[in-house]
């Protein structure tokens, strides 16, 4: 008989994330894998680091639209070794999930890793908070764990300085979390004219930014009107290309998105007010479109009292957000009808939303009318392509990083299955495991 997968151990998800985050502050923690509930396990390779790990389920979604049955996923070390005939691999650790689906880990192209509620006030952490830089890193680490445990194995955080130590600790393997790309800080109206903006891009590149985030419009809470000129956007996106970095743009309305497209930027974020003409321009110019139709709004409304009165989170700002909900959904539905437009998965997850990323996909399918498989592809191989990681993650195929999740049920039949995560593996290490009983 093959060795069985390790079972659950004692512990708590949040406490693990906070304890692990201390490694960022130069206090090491033991390496290992976490099983369901966030428990720390002492050995991520129970049959040895060179042994194969096999994952079996009713179906495998490769992340590019294919459904494979009668197969098993074979992982060795950090990478996928093969997709073999079921039962063909001997001498392996086996994870079996009857009735379940295996697919690539989800990729969220827009989160805010460090956003959190102040433990003292219960409200959004702001300039008035008395937290230390170390506190903010701990919160970012907790958010990272919550997203990983929910099946998100790569995130693009747009952004905050606390992202960098968390990103680097996760990359070293001393902190559990998704792969992190970060913009560190954004380019805004306050960044100055074209020359100052180019210099700011250079500063961010030197600081280790993976991507340049640009605010080309105001928040939807104050109307979403353009804030940067064509010349400023040309400078920002052009300098990003010079430094080998992608440029993603916060742009709610048609004019700010149009300027961004003409400037050669890579991706439009939000786009709640976009019309068909602008969406067609994005497709023509080969930009990615990352609409946010649900989670960001729902989270703000549920937590309104924790945001209200901070910055532009005013009563009028919340009224404007409520008015934007049907408009954003209409823009998304229109985008689905635009030939050649690459729509990727992103949530704009802020304080209160980390770990519920999957609800955005559910809404896009159930309310927006997106095909379930297209939604899954938007959060796997297509999202990876938007991050220029499509030769590394987002697909289940030999040679790719073993970023793998399993969910109970079939998300192509019921996208809500994404809520029921029973396995999370990143880089070949299992961080969550909930065994499923075979159907009698």
Mean pLDDT of the 286-299 span: 98
In a domain, 2, yes or no: no
Total number of domains constituting the chain = 2
Query: Does residue 20 surpass a pLDDT of 60?
Result: no
- Tell me: do 27 and 146 sit in the same domain: no
Q: Are residues 152 and 182 in the same domain?
A: yes
In-domain check, residue 356? yes
Residue 5, in any domain of the structure: no
Is there a single domain that holds both residue 57 and residue 200?
no
The alpha carbon of residue 416 and the mean position of all alpha carbons in its chain are separated, in whole angstroms, by: 18
> Where are any strands of DSSP class E within 246-376?
246-251, 267-270, 288-291, 342-343
| 440 within domain boundaries | no
pLDDT score recorded for residue 60: 99
Q: Is 68 helix (H, G, I), strand (E, B) or coil?
A: strand
- For residue 159, is the peptide bond before it cis, meaning its omega torsion is within 30 degrees of 0? yes
Please report the pLDDT score of residue 49 as a whole number: 64
pLDDT of residue 45: 55
Q: Which of the four pLDDT bands, split at 50, 70 and 90, describes residue 437?
A: confident
For residue 288, the model assigns a pLDDT of: 99
With residue 73 as reference, give the H or E element that holds it.
strand 71-76
Mean pLDDT of 53-68: 98
Residue 23: pLDDT above 80? no
Q: Are residues 142 and 164 in the same domain?
A: yes
Give the position of tokens 């409520």: 322
User: Exposure pattern of 342-368 as b/e (b: 16+ CB <10 Å)?
Assistant: bbbbbbbbbbbbbbbbbbbbbbbbeeb
Q: Which pLDDT band holds residue 439 (cuts at 50, 70, 90)?
A: low
Pairwise CA distance, residues 303 & 324, whole Å:
17
Task: Let me know whether 39 and 175 are in one domain.
Answer: no
Collapsed DSSP state (helix, strand, coil) of residue 154: strand
Mean pLDDT of 301-319: 97
Read off the DSSP letter of residue 253.
S
CA pair distance 34, 39, nearest whole angstrom: 5
Q: Are 101 and 410 in contact (CB under 8 A)?
A: yes
Residue 376 pLDDT exceeds 60:
yes
Cα 402–chain centre separation: 17
Residues 6 or more apart whose CB falls under 8 angstroms from that of 36 comprise 8, 422, 432, 433, 434
pLDDT, tens only, 176-215: 999 999 999 999 999 999 999 999 999 999 999 999 999 9
- Which pair of structure tokens corresponds to residue 218? 């105001």
The residue among 417, 393, 404 whose CA lies nearest residue 95 is 404
Cα 223–Cα 225–Cα 230 angle in degrees, nearest 5: 170
The predicted pLDDT at position 201 comes to: 99
pLDDT digit string (tens) for 320-354? 999 999 999 999 999 999 999 999 999 999 999 99
Query: What confidence score (pLDDT) does residue 44 get?
Result: 54
Question: What's the order of all strands across the beta sheet hosting 179-182?
Answer: 106-111, 152-157, 179-182
On whether both 204 and 84 belong to a single domain, the answer is no
Q: What SS3 state is found at 286?
A: coil
Residues in contact with 20: Cβ distance below 8 Å, sequence separation at least 6, in sequence order: 29, 141, 145, 174, 175, 176
CATH code of the domain containing 36 = 2.30.40.10
Q: Are residues 97 and 130 in the same domain?
A: no
Count Cβ atoms within 10 A of the Cβ of residue 32 and give its class: 0-12 exposed, 13-18 middle, 19 or more buried.
buried
Q: Taking the C-alpha atoms of 176, 179, 183 and 184 in order, what is their torsion angle to the nearest 10 degrees? A: 20
Assigned token pair, 26: 């130069």
- Under the banding of pLDDT at 50, 70 and 90, the label for residue 79 is very high
Per the prediction, the chain carries an average pLDDT of: 91
Structural domain contains residue 6: no
What confidence score (pLDDT) does residue 393 get?
99
Q: How confident is the model at residue 127 (pLDDT cuts 50, 70, 90)?
A: confident
What pLDDT was estimated at residue 47? 57
Per the domain annotation, does 91 fall within a domain? Answer: yes
The answer as to whether 251 is a domain residue is yes
**For 128-176, how does the pLDDT look when each residue is reduced to its tens digit (9 = 90+)?**
888 999 999 999 999 999 999 999 999 999 989 999 999 999 999 999 9
Q: pLDDT band for position 50 (50/70/90)?
A: confident
pLDDT at 24 over 90: no
Phi, psi at 86, each rounded to 5°: -55, 130
DSSP string, 409-425: S-TTT-GGGGG-EEEEE
Taking the alpha carbons at both ends of the chain, their separation in whole angstroms is 21
309 shares a domain with 332? yes
- List residues bridging with 269 in a β-sheet: 250, 290
Are 139 and 250 members of one domain?
Answer: yes
Domain of 157 in residue numbering reads as 106-386
Element (H or E) spanning 47, and its range?
Answer: none
Which alpha helices (DSSP H) does 7-50 contain, by range? 13-21
pLDDT for residue 46: 55
Residue 162 CA to residue 134 CA, distance in Å, equals 9
The pLDDT assigned to 4 comes to: 43
Same domain membership, residue 207 and residue 74: no
Pair 227, 142 in one domain: yes
CA of residue 324 relative to chain centroid, distance:
23
Residues 64 and 172 in one domain: no
Q: Where residue 315 sits, what CATH number does that domain have?
A: 3.20.20.140
CA distance 392 to 398: 10
Q: Is residue 271 part of a domain?
A: yes
């Amino acid at each position: 008989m093959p060795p069985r997968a390790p079972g659950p151990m004692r512990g708590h998800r949040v406490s693990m994330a906070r304890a692990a985050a201390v490694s960022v502050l130069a206090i090491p923690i033991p390496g290992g894998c976490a099983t369901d509930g966030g428990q720390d396990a002492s050995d991520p390779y129970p049959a040895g680091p060179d042994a194969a790990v096999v994952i079996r389920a009713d179906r495998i979604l490769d992340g590019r639209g294919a459904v494979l049955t009668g197969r098993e996923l074979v992982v060795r070390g950090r990478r996928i070794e093969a997709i073999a005939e079921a039962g063909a691999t001997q001498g392996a650790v086996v994870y079996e999930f009857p009735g379940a689906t295996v697919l690539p880990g989800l990729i969220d192209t827009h989160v805010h890793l460090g956003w959190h509620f102040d433990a003292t006030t219960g409200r959004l952490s702001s300039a008035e908070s008395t937290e230390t830089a170390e506190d903010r890193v701990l919160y970012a680490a907790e958010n990272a764990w919550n997203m990983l445990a929910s099946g998100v194995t790569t995130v693009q955080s747009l952004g905050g300085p606390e992202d960098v130590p968390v990103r680097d600790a996760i990359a070293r393997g001393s902190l559990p979390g998704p792969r992190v790309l970060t913009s560190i800080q954004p380019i805004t109206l306050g960044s100055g004219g074209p020359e100052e903006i180019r210099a700011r891009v250079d500063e961010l590149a030197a600081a280790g930014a993976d991507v340049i985030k640009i605010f080309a419009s105001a928040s939807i809470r104050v109307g979403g009107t353009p804030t940067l000129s064509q010349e400023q956007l040309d400078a920002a996106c052009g300098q990003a290309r010079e430094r080998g970095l992608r440029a993603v743009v916060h742009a709610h309305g048609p004019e700010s998105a149009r300027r961004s497209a003409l400037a050669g930027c890579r991706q439009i974020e939000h786009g709640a007010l976009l019309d068909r003409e602008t969406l067609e321009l994005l497709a023509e110019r080969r930009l990615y479109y990352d609409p946010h139709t649900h989670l960001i709004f729902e989270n703000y409304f549920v937590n309104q009292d924790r945001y209200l009165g901070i910055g532009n989170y005013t009563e009028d700002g919340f009224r404007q957000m409520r008015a934007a909900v049907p408009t954003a959904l209409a823009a998304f539905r229109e985008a689905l009808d635009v030939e050649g437009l690459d729509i990727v998965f992103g949530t704009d997850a802020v304080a209160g939303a980390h770990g519920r990323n999957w609800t955005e996909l559910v809404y896009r399918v159930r309310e927006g009318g997106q095909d379930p498989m297209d939604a899954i592809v938007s959060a796997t191989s297509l999202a990876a392509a938007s991050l220029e990681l499509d030769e590394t993650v987002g697909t289940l195929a030999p040679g790719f990083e073993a970023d793998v999740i399993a969910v109970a049920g079939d998300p192509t039949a019921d996208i809500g299955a994404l809520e029921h995560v029973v396995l999370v593996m990143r880089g070949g290490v299992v961080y969550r495991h909930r065994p499923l009983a075979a159907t009698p």
